[in-house]
Amino acid sequence: MAKWGEGDPRWIVEERPDATNVNNWHWTEKNASHWSKDKLKTLLEGLIIEENGLGHCIIKEVSSIDGEAVANNRKGKLIFFYEWIIKCTWIGVLNGDATEYNGKLEIPNLSEENSSNDITIDVSIDDTNSAQAEILKELVRTKGLHIIQDRMKQYIIALRDEFAKDMIKPTKLTESGSINSFQTEAQLKEKAKSELHSSKQSVSKTVISKKSDNSQTDVKIETTSLKLIENFKCTAEEIYKTFTEEVFLQAFTRNKVKCEPVVGGQFSLMDGNIVGKFTHLEPNKCIRQFWRLKSWPAEHYSQVEIQIEQQSDSTKIILVQTGVPKLNVDNTEEGWKKHYFESIKRTFGFAASFY
């Protein structure tokens, strides 16, 4: 064994003045666990699974992510190791049913040994004696599986193209900067299928390009939450009607409104710039919605919960919104204050004191 400092000079990185990894020769490792957990939460939380005429479910929260992910570079090749067990909670409603059903799902086999199409999910419901809940469970298990597989594919792509993009430098063999990435057996199978159908893919190049653009948009969504507390000089019943009944909504928004205040009912405010669905309605006490701005990435909904509390001389509302794109959180919060709260007080006189 050579003494320290007398080995093959190709392996000596530290003693170069710039510590450069020449030609990507040396083994470098980068922990991707923290990045992966954030990315997986972004891809899953707020995800809607919907069947027209039946109902819809939404992944409410990623409750736990157990595992790890590592990216390695060796001789200009990227090698990924990742293994995750992901647990989530979901809520769902059937069309025409006021009941909200809760359940859980688990992704047990997200790893480099499996392609995205090999990923499975385990789905359960909290109310095992409910036939309606079983219907929603089946919706998540079947249609939800394909949606989740697509999101996990986005994670795998992002791990390579986003997280590890700075791990490969151009070499003499790859002066263009392209990389010869390591691929697992499962990934090689997918690549072979892709090459087999390349002619078909070229025919639909425009369509694929659009889908790719949408996928990239989905991958980049990072979400956060906001909480607002406001007092109105009115009764709990009055503020409940203000947030749910079309005539009141149209009055304070001063614009075209469509609203069906039942669980599963849709609403559209401000000429379609705000749309969503009611997921829970408890008169004079609580309102829950799927809520989105038209400018948000396609199919991405936040969750809004408005708690209504009757006080001795006023009504307090506590609004919590989760799944808000980080890039839009400031204007979303400002919109609630300006276009909802201030406009409601100004329109109905709810800022004035009782006499």
pLDDT per residue, tens digit, the chain (355 aa), is: 333 334 444 443 443 444 444 444 455 778 889 999 999 999 999 899 988 878 899 999 999 999 999 888 776 677 888 999 999 999 998 887 778 899 999 999 999 888 889 999 999 999 888 888 888 999 999 999 999 999 999 999 888 888 877 766 543 333 333 223 444 445 545 555 555 555 445 444 433 344 444 443 444 678 889 999 999 999 999 999 999 998 899 888 888 899 999 988 999 998 889 999 998 999 999 999 999 998 888 888 899 999 999 999 999 999 999 989 988 999 999 999 999 999 999 988 898 554 3
Please tell me whether residues 139 and 29 are part of one structural domain: yes
Please tell me whether residues 252 and 239 are part of one structural domain: yes
Q: Are strands 266-269 and 48-51 parallel, antiparallel or unpaired?
A: unpaired
Nearest to 236, CA basis, from 318, 305, 317: 317
Domain membership flag for residue 323? yes
Nearest to 147, CA basis, from 44, 67, 221: 44
Please tell me whether residues 50 and 155 are part of one structural domain: yes
Please tell me whether residues 213 and 262 are part of one structural domain: no
First to last CA, the chain: 93
CB-side neighbour CA atoms (13 Å) of 260? 11
Please tell me whether residues 210 and 232 are part of one structural domain: no
Please tell me whether residues 195 and 243 are part of one structural domain: no
Please tell me whether residues 250 and 202 are part of one structural domain: no
Which of these three, 219, 246, 277, is where a domain ends? Answer: 219
Find the domain containing 236 and state its range. 223-348
Helix (H, G, I), strand (E, B) or coil at 300: coil
Q: Where are the alpha helices (DSSP H) in the chain?
A: 33-44, 131-158, 185-196, 198-203, 205-219, 236-244, 246-253, 329-335, 343-348
Partners of residue 62 on adjacent β-strands: 88
Report how far residue 211's alpha carbon sits from residue 225's, in angstroms, rounded to the nearest whole number.
28
Rg (CA), the chain: 26
Report how far residue 90's alpha carbon sits from residue 40's, in angstroms, rounded to the nearest whole number.
15
Please tell me whether residues 214 and 228 are part of one structural domain: no
